Structure 1
Amino acid sequence: MTTTTATPAPPFGRALCAMITPFTDSGALDLDGAQRLADLLVTEGCDGLVLSGTTGESPTTTDAEKSALVRAVREAVGERASIVAGVGTADTRHTVELTLAAEKAGADGVLVVTPYYSRPPQDAVEEHFRTVADASELPVVLYDIPGRTGTRIEPDTMLRLAAHPRIVAVKDCSYDFLGTQKVLSRTELAYYAGCEEHILALYAVGGSGYISTVANLVPRQLRSILDAFDAGDTARAARLQQQATELIESTMAAGLPGTVTVKALLNDLGRPAGPVRAPLRPAGRETADGLRSAYERLRAA
């Protein structure tokens, strides 16, 4: 007789959106817009929202704005979706302060990026994450994105960190699929694809879902990839992943940050977004038109 072990439920759901932070035309935090966008994303299939991450322009929002955003989005979505607050900085002490503030504001977890610019060695990276995880009762998502931080969370470091009771998940932008599978095979960490082109591939080898910038635009379409796979229709899942490729490339690999491209298209669609904050600059009309065309083709597929 064959026995099976149930796969643990993902700690924050499967389909998570790395939500943009809406601003008013004058550049102020638009909490009303954030609430409307959050409600729309959850209604359209997002299990969770990640606030104040890369896409949420965390380097240019204040600590007070980050807390206010968590409170406002919690009010809008209630318990319909999990809220993960981006708290990562280059300073361990500051990261701890933001973690405690996110806990007080009502977040369900925190997203902690590898300290950037100073490029700490692996023992220091490990200590940074442990210090943050020890600081509150919130579960921690490690954010591995060496292309932005300059420092990997090496697989062996991940294996050690996985033993911490509050380090529960990884947002994986490492582009090291072998290293990811090594950690997946030896830990119970929930791995979320942070790169949309890897949604199906990572899910198929045991990942938990995704934390997606493109989900700001097409939450239902991206969720359908996971739903098709779960239903056993792997051919449909592959087709849906392929159909999303054009919009993923236009949004994430066209030479502009995803925040810029997503806000351009959301503004074009009349949804809450507003401007980006300097040093980012808005996308031009040609870029916005190309995004709209790719979006319409995916919606019609």
Structure 2
Amino acid sequence: MKDALFGGINAAVLTAMKPDFTPDLDRMAKHAKWLLANGCNGLGIMGTTGEANSFGLHERKQILEGLIARGVPASVMMPGTGCASLADTVELTIHAREQGCRGVLLLPPFYYKGPSDDGLFAYFDAVAKRVGGGIALYLYHFPQQSAVPFSLSLIGRLLDAHPGVFKGVKDSSGDYANMKAMIDAFASRGFEVYSGSDEFVQKILAEGGAGCITAASNCNSHWGGIVYAKRTGPEADAAQAMLTATRRAATAVPLIPGLREIIARSTGDDGWRVIRPPHLPLSKEDGDKAWATWQATGALPLPGMPAVKQAAE
């Protein structure tokens, strides 16, 4: 897809934290800049991987403002602003627009299960009207986590009611047939479809999608950048194979603490292991398993990141 606002490789960025669980903005900004220098076109902050729903409204604003103040461009960031509360969703979305972000990622209202498409339409219609334009709205389809899927008919209704406002979707379902159905139905209307699964990057780009927004991009973005630049051919195929292998490595242990463990060992920075409850850091056994699984892919040491001797110990 040409002219996609966030076309390419977008990392679902981990949120660095201090020992007291407050955001560590210096550490997070450093990581964000490394990602942009090593294959990422954009950054999804405050999503699932960033533990958005473990942070309060004011903390989420603080994180966005803090990254911008530390030199991470607002234009490359897609903050997650979808909350169970309509008012909070609107407030965070307007805040992102005021900071200079071009788009936001919206979870559906996830607390009440089994809402009708009419109910979901009413929610997102209200969000769009209260925000009042000036920022692209992306839907976050992750039914395994939210338990609230987006149907094709709902997406079509939102596009009809708000042309040019609902710009795309991140599909983290792992169901490529669903991604392809959204491409087939809506790509001709400029609707951008992003895979939440690294193994589909090359395929979705070839079939009219816009790219990916993925957790494993925190560590494998170097190869994602190759796939996005080359698309086809031996180099792209080899890079896609690495994306697939590292995605499987990332999910061999609990995903979010596992990625933190890989970055902690790769950088020698133990601070990356800090995670907010109810998540917990990996045990020593699972940490060793995560490291060994990533080593088996050939991805370590991470390109662009100095090797650390103690990381392998």
Query: TM-score if structure 1 supplies the norm length?
Result: 0.88
Could you tell me which residue of structure 2 aligns to residue 186 of structure 1? 185
- Could you tell me which runs of 5 or more consecutive residues in structure 1 were left unpaired when the two chains were aligned: 1-6
Could you tell me which residue of structure 1 aligns to residue 201 of structure 2? 199
SS for the counterpart of 1:175 is coil
CA distance in 1, matches of 2:182, 2:220: 30
| 1:239 corresponds to 2:238 | yes
Could you tell me which residue of structure 1 aligns to residue 12 of structure 2? 18
Could you tell me which residue of structure 1 aligns to residue 146 of structure 2? 149
Task: Read off the aligned partner of 1:92 and give its amino acid letter.
Answer: L
Matches within 5 A, 1:6-85: 7-79=1-73, 82-85=76-79
Cα shift readout 1:77-114 (whole Å, capped 9, x = no counterpart): 45496111111112222211221222233322110012
CA distance in 1, matches of 2:122, 2:206: 32
Could you tell me which residue of structure 2 aligns to residue 209 of structure 1? 211
Task: Read off the aligned partner of 1:193 and give its amino acid letter.
Answer: S
| 1:277 corresponds to 2:276 | yes
| Equivalent residues of 2:39, 2:226 under 8 A apart | no
CA distance in 1, matches of 2:74, 2:110: 33
* 2:129 paired residue among 121, 127, 134: 134
| Equivalent residues of 1:20, 1:273 under 8 A apart | no
SS for the counterpart of 1:117 is coil
Count of equivalent residues: 290
| 1:286 corresponds to 2:285 | yes
Identity in percent: 23
Query: TM-score if structure 2 supplies the norm length?
Result: 0.85
**Residue range with higher mean Cα deviation, 269-278 or 22-31:** 269-278
| 1:260 corresponds to 2:257 | yes
Task: Read off the aligned partner of 2:182 and give its amino acid letter.
Answer: V
Could you tell me which residue of structure 1 aligns to residue 119 of structure 2? 124
Change in 2 beyond 3 A, CA 1:293/1:255: closer
Could you tell me which residue of structure 1 aligns to residue 299 of structure 2? 299
SS for the counterpart of 2:299 is helix
Cα shift readout 1:137-190 (whole Å, capped 9, x = no counterpart): 211110000011112101111122233221101101233433332321232210
| Equivalent residues of 2:196, 2:214 under 8 A apart | yes
Task: Read off the aligned partner of 2:124 and give its amino acid letter.
Answer: F
| Equivalent residues of 1:225, 1:240 under 8 A apart | yes
Task: Read off the aligned partner of 1:151 and give its amino acid letter.
Answer: V
Could you tell me which residue of structure 2 aligns to residue 225 of structure 1? 227
Could you tell me which residue of structure 2 aligns to residue 4 of structure 1? none
| Equivalent residues of 1:84, 1:107 under 8 A apart | yes
Task: Read off the aligned partner of 1:186 and give its amino acid letter.
Answer: A
| Equivalent residues of 1:247, 1:291 under 8 A apart | no
CA distance in 2, matches of 1:259, 1:300: 18
**Residue range with higher mean Cα deviation, 274-283 or 71-80:** 71-80
| Equivalent residues of 1:260, 1:276 under 8 A apart | yes
CA distance in 1, matches of 2:249, 2:177: 27
Q: How far apart are residue 42 of structure 1 and its match?
A: 0.8
